[in-house]
Amino acid sequence: MAERQVARIEVRQLAGVDDPAGSGVIRAADLSGIKLGGRVQSAAVYLIESQADAAMLGRIAGELLADPVTQSATVAEGPPTHHSTAVEVHPLPGVTDPAAQSVETALRDLFGVEATVVTGRRFEFSEASAALAKTVAERLLANTVIQGVHGGVFHPTTLPKGHKHDAPVRSIELTTLDGAQLAKLSRSAHLFLSLSEMQAIQTEYRRQGREPREIELETIAQTWSEHCVHKTLKSPINYRELASGKVSPASIRAEAAGSFALAKTCAEAAGTALGARPGHTVDSSGSVNIDNLLKSTIAAATRALTDPAQPNHIDWCLSVFVDNSGVVAFDEEHAVCFKVETHNRPSAIEPYGGAATGIGGCIRDVMGTGLGAKPIACTDVFCVAPPDMPDIPKGCLPPRRVLTQVVAGVRDYGNRMGIPTVNGGVWFDERHVGNPLVFCGTVGVMPRDKVRGLVRAGDVIVALGGRTGRDGIHGATFSSAEVAHAHADEFSHAVQIGNAITEKKALDLLLAARDYPTGCLYSALTDCGAGGFSSAVGEMARELGAQVHLDRAPVKYAGLSPTEVWISEAQERMTLAVPPANVGVLRALCLEHQVEMCDLGVFGSVDKSIRLYWNAEEIGRLDTHFLHEGVPMPRREAVWDPDHAAAQEPAVGDGSGVGPALLDTLRTLLAHPNIASKQWIVRQYDHEVQGTSVVKPFVGVGSGGPSDAAVISPVRGSSRALAIANGLATGLAADPYWMALAAIDECVRNLVCVGARADRIAILDNFSWPDCDDPRNLGSLVRAAEACFDGAMAYRAPFISGKDSLRNQFRTEDGRLIQIPPTLLISGFAPVDEDTRCVTMDAKCAGNALVIVGETGAAMGGSHRLRMGRGEHLPSALPQVSLTHGPLNAREVAREIASGTVRSAHDCSEGGLLLAAAEMAFSGGLGLTVDIGAVPTIRSTPKLAANPLTEAGSDGDASSPSASWCETTSFAETPSRYLLEIEEAEVAALLERLARRGVSAARIGSFISTETMSLTCRGVAMGEMSTENLRLAWESGSKGWQ
């Protein structure tokens, strides 16, 4: 029998055939300011360890690895490299290599060869020096956290095997430790538990009269991590408001005491009685005690809105806050569900893998909802540092690389899964340099009778999908820790690479098992996310206990310890509860779908504990009650310090790009990174797979106009559709109360603008906050949560799911702490009754009128215009959402769209109304005229003194508005405003209807066939510019990021 040997096969393009991977290196280097010169040629490298002989390797190279038309393959060294420097990039041992897995399977199936494979890429530089080539490889081609860079030819004699950790069943001495020792243990064992948590564990084990075993301690740490248990949001909180120079416009304290002014009116109008904020009490010192922030705000709104005792209660929420995603009714037979997750920490260290596994995990949440939903759409929102940011702190990847790799990760995973990525956004802020935010959302559809699963005692614990390896060990605890300079090395094992095809196979299998002709083959399922089996089985066994045989789990390589198997966060795994009678059928189905499954044990144990076994020996026993209820919830201090919050705001720009005319400023704003076209990102996503798209991310004559929301048709053959959108208002972070309301309002506006039902909007929260152990950060979190309650009540839009990530900050090597801005992403979806009634944002026809709905306020705080600089003359107050007008405007616009009056509709948001109007015009290949003087403004604003109308020097004489009034009105980012295109003949009736219903609206211009935007103010010309010019500014704004 032949020895196993490592063969090396190199595949390269034939002379004369394009090599985009090679030429891409030149382009990427160029963007990073590195002049390479000459050319770069790429080659694929396969290291194959097997017993195959030379003839067989030749066949493998020729028949499988190389394309006969365009490529050549060579076994072993490859052709001599004339005057070139070569580097190779190969995955580090233990890092998932999906391509290698596919090759191994193909070698077995096609050639009968059992092999271990590693894949890599080779780059040959015709002119660069070895040192420069290595720099390029390390900066642009490899991430050294997961990949090794080798000069010359990499041809090891053996491929790495798993290494065995010594893994006896270890007890850890805990019951005798003092406080300092407990804290030390928490850190050294990477448990990230607080002292009080360590003490609670100590008390429990003293009660049991024994020391914990390592695997038990690890399980508790995973289960109690912020990531899994949301202990900050669930803790009792003591909230104080500090006095500031100005009285805070929304005092939670005042409302908690009973004068619930803000939401009361609308709640009453909606038939919901409300007194003081639920779960809030004011103590003698004047501070507010909140029992459980989540329950008292976000969930309280959902509870109130869905309360069957209320006459107008919402009856379409089917499963909220209890499962892996929130589920609402779609039609008589179908439900839709939505989950949004963050994957911030892994993305900071390895953006490609971090983003891919982020979207992969979110998709699994949807697959693991109820008895399984089919994922039908993904969304993504990224908050990153600007690509051109100077002075990157050590330990951070270059922002451009972070962004392009995050995009690539979402692209490769979503596209391979066959799920359209339909909606998203990017927010730029330098404070994200060491801590980018990656929000991934997934929407699913399922039959209404499959919304709930129930584990039964005696059900077999089945694990299926990917194998278990050391990847992702400590992900849950890691994600709850602060990112520090040292983390890149310390936690590289927390970084994972996904394999979308493994997950796709699991999805196809699960849907086949769910819809099995004789009925669903399993009684419950969940995904393995953070904490791996320990969390998945732990959660499913909550009521019944379980007996788990860890030695049965299929592993990627030998040598895993039982603890590693139990807490591994290896991707693409699902856990099912299967009635014993169905196991055989499920196994056969798995075989057909080429999905690996194993029987890990059984749900149920005598004392309802979770018992862990390794080769039939008990190695751990966990009390489920202590595990799930034992985490101490200490009272946390929260302080709202408006001055501190304001001081965190970034410095404004130097005013370049402002003026001289308003349209010049507009052109600059259109090219702002937050606003500019994201086509280069979106077109990399297959946003049409499954063939369900009704409103695509880009619409209009050149298919380049930015849609407000995506619309898809989830049910084949039905014209009922689903709109999906996001809202983010980080610009208003100086007061997260108004920021959160603005985000909700934006999400609602986006949905309404495409034709969604305003009365059927369900929303999700995603908090990404700087460290909430700092009372000031927790104070700002409280304000955002309170706004979520007010917003949900006012818009009658219940929260159905949410997530939080509460320690987003980065410590640089020199000890500087960079905290991210408090960030709340609101995601939402709502049905559209009839898809052919959808409206897009591109203007349709010259001669139609431009109508604005909603009033524009003299409050420019946080606006893009103000951030440009040279805005001292502009009113700097933060815009506020009116809880009466916001919902009213949304409802009435939705009604007009449903009735067919509206030809196009666009949300007025970042950049202000001129910007939204310009987008409508150039997306429709039209021009427009706008009379700024006709824009209705908020006259009753409490900030009247700051209204330039009154500063105009003529006692607020509306006939001669000042230049600053015009500028404010043009660029204020006041919420609750919509731009509508209305046929001339319909305008008068529309305005009359809206006025009758209490909605402020005005005709402010017309679309014209000449591609020019011209501004006037009450008859005074204020400039004009070609809309093509504006479009080019918008489209070129993102050039240079790729």
Partner 1 sequence: MAVSTTSLYAPRALVITAPGINCDSELAAAFEAAGARAQSVLLETLRRRPDLIDEFDLIGLPGGFSYGDDIAAGRIMAALMRKNVYPALRGAIERGVPIICPCNGFQIAVQCGLLPGPSDDHWPAESAAASIALCPNRDGRFEDRWTAVEIPAHTCCVWTRGLDSSSAMVLPSAHGEGRLVASSTLIAHLSERGQIALRYGTADNFNGSADAIAGICDSSGLVLGLMPHPERFTRWVQHPRWTRMSKSERMVDPLGLRIFKAAVQHTRSSNGREVSACAH
Under rule CB under 8 A, residue 63 binds partner 1: yes
Residues in the chain: 1042
One residue of 40, 75, 95, 103 binding partner 1 per CB under 8 A: 103
One residue of 323, 835, 973, 1035 binding partner 1 per CB under 8 A: 835
Is 227 labeled as catalytic in the residue annotation? Answer: yes
Could you give the C-alpha distances from 441 to 354, 382, 414, 862, in angstroms and in order? Answer: 14, 11, 11, 26
Judged by beta carbon, residue 159 or residue 701, the one nearer partner 1 is: 701
Q: How far apart are CA 538 and CA 529, in angstroms?
A: 12
* Active-site annotation holder among 90, 230, 280, 343: 343
Minimum distance of partner 1 from residue 371's CB (angstroms):
19
Under rule CB under 8 A, residue 411 binds partner 1: yes
Q: How far apart are CA 468 and CA 528, in angstroms?
A: 11
Q: How far apart are CA 547 and CA 531, in angstroms?
A: 18
Under rule CB under 8 A, residue 1036 binds partner 1: no
Question: Residue 83 half-sphere exposure, CB side, CA atoms within 13 Å?
Answer: 4
Judged by beta carbon, residue 382 or residue 491, the one nearer partner 1 is: 382
Minimum distance of partner 1 from residue 344's CB (angstroms):
25
Judged by beta carbon, residue 495 or residue 843, the one nearer partner 1 is: 843
Judged by beta carbon, residue 687 or residue 776, the one nearer partner 1 is: 687
Could you give the C-alpha distances from 97 to 102, 116, 120, 785, in angstroms and in order? Answer: 9, 11, 9, 41
**Local structure of residue 65 (DSSP, 8 states):** I
DSSP codes of every residue in 626-670:
HHHH-S----EEEEE-HHHHHHTSPPP---TT--SSHHHHHHHHH
Judged by beta carbon, residue 481 or residue 694, the one nearer partner 1 is: 694
Stretch that binds partner 1, among 103-111, 433-441, 616-624, 935-943 (CB under 8 A): 103-111
One residue of 246, 394, 716, 996 binding partner 1 per CB under 8 A: 716
930 three-class SS: strand
546 contacts 393 by C-beta, under 8 angstroms: no
Minimum distance of partner 1 from residue 182's CB (angstroms):
46
Minimum distance of partner 1 from residue 66's CB (angstroms):
9
Percentages (nearest 5) of helix, strand, coil residues in the chain: 35, 25, 40
Binding string, 537-576, against partner 1, x = CB under 8 A?
----------------------------------------
One residue of 505, 514, 549, 636 binding partner 1 per CB under 8 A: 505
Under rule CB under 8 A, residue 652 binds partner 1: no
Stretch that binds partner 1, among 63-71, 208-216, 283-291, 772-780 (CB under 8 A): 63-71
Under rule CB under 8 A, residue 496 binds partner 1: no
Under rule CB under 8 A, residue 418 binds partner 1: yes
Task: List, in sequence order, the alpha helices (H) in 297-374.
Answer: 298-305, 344-349, 351-367
Stretch that binds partner 1, among 99-107, 733-741, 863-871, 970-978 (CB under 8 A): 99-107
230 contacts 236 by C-beta, under 8 angstroms: no
Q: How far apart are CA 377 and CA 359, in angstroms?
A: 11
Judged by beta carbon, residue 501 or residue 585, the one nearer partner 1 is: 501
Minimum distance of partner 1 from residue 48's CB (angstroms):
12
Q: Provide the edge-to-edge strand list for the sheet that holds 280-282.
A: 280-282, 288-290, 237-241, 636-640
Judged by beta carbon, residue 51 or residue 703, the one nearer partner 1 is: 703
One residue of 6, 21, 633, 846 binding partner 1 per CB under 8 A: 21
Stretch that binds partner 1, among 104-112, 223-231, 302-310, 353-361 (CB under 8 A): 104-112
State the DSSP H helix or E strand holding residue 194, giving kind and residue range, or none if neither.
none
Under rule CB under 8 A, residue 836 binds partner 1: yes
Give one word for 474, left, alpha or beta, with left for phi > 0 and alpha for psi -120 to 50.
Answer: left
Under rule CB under 8 A, residue 106 binds partner 1: yes
Question: Which residues, at least 6 apart from 27, have a Cβ–Cβ distance to it below 8 Å?
Answer: none
One residue of 36, 65, 627, 921 binding partner 1 per CB under 8 A: 65
What residues from 904 to 943 belong to the interface with partner 1 (CB under 8 A)? 904, 924
Residue located via tokens 């849907």: 511
Judged by beta carbon, residue 12 or residue 431, the one nearer partner 1 is: 12
Binding string, 67-86, against partner 1, x = CB under 8 A?
xxxx----------------
Copy the structure tokens of residue 654. Answer: 């130097």
Under rule CB under 8 A, residue 949 binds partner 1: no
Is 343 labeled as catalytic in the residue annotation? Answer: yes
Cα distance between the two ends of the chain? 51
Under rule CB under 8 A, residue 41 binds partner 1: no
Minimum distance of partner 1 from residue 441's CB (angstroms):
19
Minimum distance of partner 1 from residue 110's CB (angstroms):
5
Minimum distance of partner 1 from residue 112's CB (angstroms):
11
* Active-site annotation holder among 90, 150, 227, 687: 227
CB atoms within 10 A of CB 85: 21
Minimum distance of partner 1 from residue 195's CB (angstroms):
47
Q: How far apart are CA 405 and CA 403, in angstroms?
A: 5
Minimum distance of partner 1 from residue 119's CB (angstroms):
8
One residue of 272, 405, 415, 568 binding partner 1 per CB under 8 A: 415
Output Rg (C-alpha) for the chain, integer angstroms: 29
Judged by beta carbon, residue 101 or residue 324, the one nearer partner 1 is: 101
Q: How far apart are CA 276 and CA 798, in angstroms?
A: 19
Minimum distance of partner 1 from residue 743's CB (angstroms):
27
Minimum distance of partner 1 from residue 558's CB (angstroms):
24
Under rule CB under 8 A, residue 112 binds partner 1: no
DSSP codes of every residue in 256-301:
HTT--HHHHHHHHHTT----SPTTEEE-TTSPEEES-HHHHTHHHH
Binding string, 657-696, against partner 1, x = CB under 8 A?
-------------------------xxxxxxxxxxxxxxx
Strands 421-428 and 326-329: unpaired
CB atoms within 10 A of CB 1019: 8
Stretch that binds partner 1, among 311-319, 328-336, 416-424, 610-618 (CB under 8 A): 416-424
One residue of 6, 31, 34, 99 binding partner 1 per CB under 8 A: 99
Give one word for 953, left, alpha or beta, with left for phi > 0 and alpha for psi -120 to 50.
Answer: left
Task: List, in sequence order, the alpha helices (H) in 95-213.
Answer: 98-106, 130-136, 179-188, 195-208
**Local structure of residue 335 (DSSP, 8 states):** E
Judged by beta carbon, residue 148 or residue 418, the one nearer partner 1 is: 418
700 contacts 840 by C-beta, under 8 angstroms: yes
213 contacts 170 by C-beta, under 8 angstroms: yes
Size of the site for partner 1 (CB under 8 A): 69
Judged by beta carbon, residue 65 or residue 991, the one nearer partner 1 is: 65
Q: How far apart are CA 660 and CA 263, in angstroms?
A: 42
Catalytic residues, by residue number, are 227, 343
Q: Which residues of the chain form contacts with partner 1 (CB under 8 A)?
A: 17-18, 20-21, 23-24, 44, 63-65, 67-70, 98-99, 101-103, 105-106, 109-110, 411, 415-418, 499-501, 504-505, 508, 592-594, 682-696, 698-701, 703, 713, 716-717, 835-836, 838-840, 842, 844, 904, 924
